Structure 1
Amino acid sequence: MTGEGNECGDGTGGAGGRRRRLKLAVLTLVGVLVLGAGGAGWAFWRLNGNIRSVDIDGALGDDRPARLRSSSEPSASAAAPPPPSGALNILVLGSDSRSGEENAELGGGDEGAGARSDTAMVVHVDEGRTGATVVSIPRDTLVTRPPCPLESGGSTAVAYNAMFNSAYAVGGPVCAVKTVESMTNVRMDHYIEIDFSGFAKVVDALGGVTVTTDEDIDDDDSHLTLEAGTHRLDGEQALAFARTRHGIGDGSDLGRIGLQQKLVKALLDQIASTDLLTDPTRLYEVADAITGSLTTDTGLDSLSELTNLGESLQGLSPDDTRTVMMPVTTAPYDRNRVVAEEPEAGELWESLK
């Protein structure tokens, strides 16, 4: 089985309409992130304090792929630095957290069972920030998991033919980043993680999200049942939609990736169509949900840094944004797992350098 690339967007309203929706979404995101800066100081303090961070750079040191040569971040000494414009790679994870009552109620499982990265996407933004490629990595991909540093000291052991999502389970965000960099030889400039309960809260704060499915869905594991057609989903249903795999296609992770990419576009459209900028109360609710669900690297762990990133993406065109899946094929020693298909996978990662 091979992952094929496909362009983002369904053509509704034409290229101009899609470009307008994406720009509205980015502007709304910027408004969400700077909410407190223009209003009460306590709001800014609250939202800024919501964001959790992990020092990825400090943990991994210099034993990593080289930074993108085109990367050009603004000087910290500049009085009013312009938004960055260099090429950028961001690892975005959706975590199957096994801790916390809210996450458990949404399918996270028992607190003592650890955590997994249920969704993984590498977002590559081109030089000039006018185009992007979003690469989904199937969680069932078998990889060589490198030794990863642990907070308690020491490191995990190297593991061969390990499932990709086990990296997060054994070593958290640091090991997830190191594993992606090891398998791609591409440096991740930033890391963003959103958890189960946080994702559901964001969708609910937006008033739900509208999706269309081409086939019936009936998945006992995600507890989602939908007839083929268009549906308005609340946060819990949207989360189930993103996690569904057994109720569609051949039941593999590849079908779930298609649903996840469809959901990302639907959320983008929902943000663009929700007039948050004229509704401060609703804007704060969305901002609180977004920041409260995020874990980032230390380079994105403040409202000002996230705002700077959001502003730099205002010129991003959906016509130049594509969503693809890492090319994979069935593992020769396990029909239920996949491995990177070469040379296609290597060529894809090379194009992101």
Structure 2
Amino acid sequence: MTDRAGTPDAPEPGPEQEPDREREPDGRQEPGGAVPGEAAPDGAAAEEDSAAEASGAAAVPARRRHWLRWTALGVSVALLGAAGTGWWFYRKLDGNITTDTTAEAELRRYEKERPATVATAARNVLLIGSDTRSGEGNRRYGRDEGSQRSDTVILLHLAADGRSATAMSIPRDLMVTVPSCRAPDGKRTRERLAQFNWAFEWGGTACTIRTVEKLTGIRVDHHMVIDFRGFKKMVDAVDGVEVCLKEPVDDPDAKLKLPAGRQKLNGEQALGFVRARKSLGNGSDTERMDRQQMFLGALVNKVQSDGVLLNPTKLYPVLDAATKSLTTDPGLDSLRDLYGLARAMRSIPTEKVQFLTVPRRPYTYNANRDELVQPAASTLFRQLREDRPIVVAPAEPERDRNASSDGKPDDADTPVPSATPTFTGRNAAEGTCAG
């Protein structure tokens, strides 16, 4: 038995008897069985040191876990912020695009008379440059008379194998049969023979598409319309495009004044360069189309060589400029659709992006107009329609638009394998400073 001071008053137990450890009245007992007030044995002290070390060691992982939680939270917030910003940019660009539902409805009306698709994996996109003077930044190029014509029309053919693209220009002055179309006021025009760019004024995009399909027999899968302002902003977005001029240019009508030599054009200068007729070359629309093709080739080359399509900081301004002034069919009216088209173009080498103009000559009844040269034109249309290879070669210097006035193609006297006929044109790699 033990007194309250903890002093034993009984004899020590024998070797065969195990001592009973008494507790304080409150039932407390020191670690290791030590009674309060007594010195802990050496083993108990070691256990206390180990417990203290364990407590300190546990504090370090606790702090580390605390730091990791805050780091994870910060990373999550950053990712969510980036995703939110990316989504905002996507929605902004996507919302810039105007959908041409009017043309879509009109084309459905004439679906039965439209050409059938021959090469299903290939795509034909009609690119229309509108000469409208309406809108901010466009009126300086003339009076806004409430109408517009197609200043530039190019049929872009993307081959089914994804390895080549052919851009065929259609002269604005080409005499064609324009079908009956729905006018902006709701009335219907009558079918008539007229110069090609009147189709856009009489019946807009749908009328132009139907005229192209009637002329070529090629099914137009998609279309894009861009105006003066959009073209300028796209050139500025890639920090200008380089051209080479043999002579100085001073064209008040095109708002263009440039010295001779190699130089980089900004958007305003580029628009004047591709539109000028009176001060560059012989003043014909033929030479203007040649400049347009050369400039577009240089633009494609600039975009691909500068890695614009792979660099978000460079790509966004280009997409923003393009989408703000772009009107498309419902099949291309989203950023995802346009990116798919751009990605398809990105994989094509610049030397496989070819430009040419439909074979034509001065119109028999008016030298200021054009007519097709046959059978070269029909051969070209068939090659595109059936997705067959198109081979282009630069025109010989001595030949001009009058060289084919006999109605035969330029290469009619030179035997060419029927599977791969050659047409006058150029590729994007040549740019405007070739040679």
Under a length normalisation based on structure 2, what TM-score does the superposition of the two structures give?
Answer: 0.65
CA separation of 1:317 and 1:65: change in aligned 2, threshold 3 A? farther
Opposite residue 116 of structure 2, the aligned amino acid is R
Shift in alpha-carbon separation, 1:270–1:241, aligned structure 2, 3 A: same
Task: Report the counterpart of residue 159 of structure 1 in structure 2.
Answer: 192
Q: CA deviation at 1:181?
A: 1.0
Q: Give the C-alpha shift of residue 114 in structure 1.
A: 0.8
Task: Answer yes or no: is the 8 Å Cα contact 1:131–1:321 preserved in 2.
Answer: yes
The answer to whether 1:111 aligns with 2:144 is yes
**Distance in 2 between the 1:111 and 1:218 partners?**
24
1:296 and 2:328 aligned = yes
CA contact (8 A) 1:64 1:181 kept: no
- Distance in 1 (CA, whole Å) between partners of 2:94 and 2:305 is 26
Structure 2 residue 164 is matched with structure 1 residue 131: yes
| Superimposed CA distance per residue, residues 275-301 of structure 1 (whole angstroms, 9 cap, x where no aligned partner) | 557865554322211111211111100
Further displaced range: 164-173 or 49-58: 49-58
Residue 270 (structure 2) pairs with residue 238 (structure 1):
yes
Are the structure 2 counterparts of residues 278 and 345 from structure 1 closer, same or farther at C-alpha, using a change threshold of 3 Å?
A: closer
Of 233-242 and 140-149, more deviation after overlay is shown by 140-149
Cα distance change of structure 1 residues 320 and 271 upon mapping to structure 2, 3 Å threshold = closer
- Report the secondary structure of 1:351's partner residue: helix
One-letter amino acid matched to 2:124: N
SS in 2 for 1:153: coil
Query: What residue in structure 2 maps to residue 82 of structure 1?
Result: none
> Secondary structure at 1:124's aligned position in 2?
strand
- Indicate if the aligned counterparts of 2:173 and 2:195 stay in contact, CA closer than 8 A: yes
Let me know the Cα RMSD of the aligned residues.
2.2
Is the Cα–Cα contact under 8 Å of residues 300 and 350 in structure 2 kept in the other structure? no
Q: Tell me what 1:214 maps to.
A: 246
Q: Distance in 2 between matches of 1:309 and 1:277?
A: 12
* Between 120-129 and 56-65, the greater mean CA deviation after superposition: 56-65
Q: Deviations over 1:33-57 (max 9, x none)?
A: xxx9894322111110100121334
User: Is 1:93 aligned to 2:128, yes or no?
Assistant: yes
CA contact (8 A) 1:37 1:44 kept: no
- Partners of 1:68 and 1:87 within 8 A in 2: no
Gaps of 5+ in 2: 1-81, 386-435
Summarize deviations over 1:312-351 as a string: whole Å, max 9, x none. 3343233333211111111111111111112211111111
Deviation at 1:180, TM superposition (A): 0.9
Amino acid at match of 2:159: D
Q: What SS does the aligned partner of 1:230 have?
A: strand
Distance 1:276 1:342, change over 3 A: closer
For the residues of structure 2 that align with 1:207 and 1:88, how far apart are their CA atoms?
30
| Alignment of structure 1 residues 8-157 onto 2, 5 Å | 39-55=85-101, 56-61=103-108, 62-71=111-120, 86-105=121-140, 107=141, 109-150=142-183, 152-157=185-190
d(CA) in 2 for partners of 1:123, 1:312: 12
Distance 2:272 2:374 in 1: 32
Q: For the residues of structure 2 that align with 1:279 and 1:129, how far apart are their CA atoms?
A: 22
Percent of residue pairs bearing the same amino acid type: 40
**Equivalent residue for 2:223?**
191
Counterpart code for 1:116: R
Query: Residues 54-111 of structure 1: CA distance to partner in whole angstroms, max 9, x if unpaired?
Result: 133431221343332331xxxxxxxxxxxxxx11111111110121131112x1x222
Give distance in 2, aligned partners of 1:285 and 1:249.
33
> Equivalent residue of 2:269, what SS?
helix
The number of residue pairs the alignment matches comes to 301
Contact between 2:244 and 2:262, CA under 8 Å: does it hold in 1? yes
Q: Considering only CA atoms, is the larger Rg found in Structure 1 or Structure 2?
A: 2
Greater strand share, structure number = 1
Work out the CA distance in 2 between the residues paired with 1:281 and 1:237. 24
Please tell me whether residue 201 in structure 1 is matched to residue 250 in structure 2: no
Q: Which has the higher contact order (CA 8 A, sep 6+)?
A: 1
1:149 deviates by: 2.5
Q: Give the match for residue 341 of structure 1.
A: 373
Say which is worse superposed, 38-47 or 320-329, in terms of deviation.
Answer: 38-47
Q: How does 1:202-351 map to 2 (within 5 A)?
A: 202-274=234-306, 276=308, 280-351=312-383
**Alignment-derived partner of residue 57 in structure 2:** none
Amino acid at match of 1:88: R
Secondary structure of the residue aligned to 2:294 is helix
Summarize the Cα distance change of 1:67–1:312 in structure 2 as closer, same or farther, 3 Å threshold. farther
In the superposition, relative to structure 1, how do residues 65 and 215 fare at CA in structure 2: closer, same or farther (>3 Å)?
farther
Residue aligning to 2:388: none
What displacement does 1:213 show?
2.6
Q: TM-score, normalising length from structure 1?
A: 0.79
AA in 2 matched with 1:143: V
Match of 2:253, SS state, is: coil
Q: Secondary structure at the match of 2:331?
A: coil
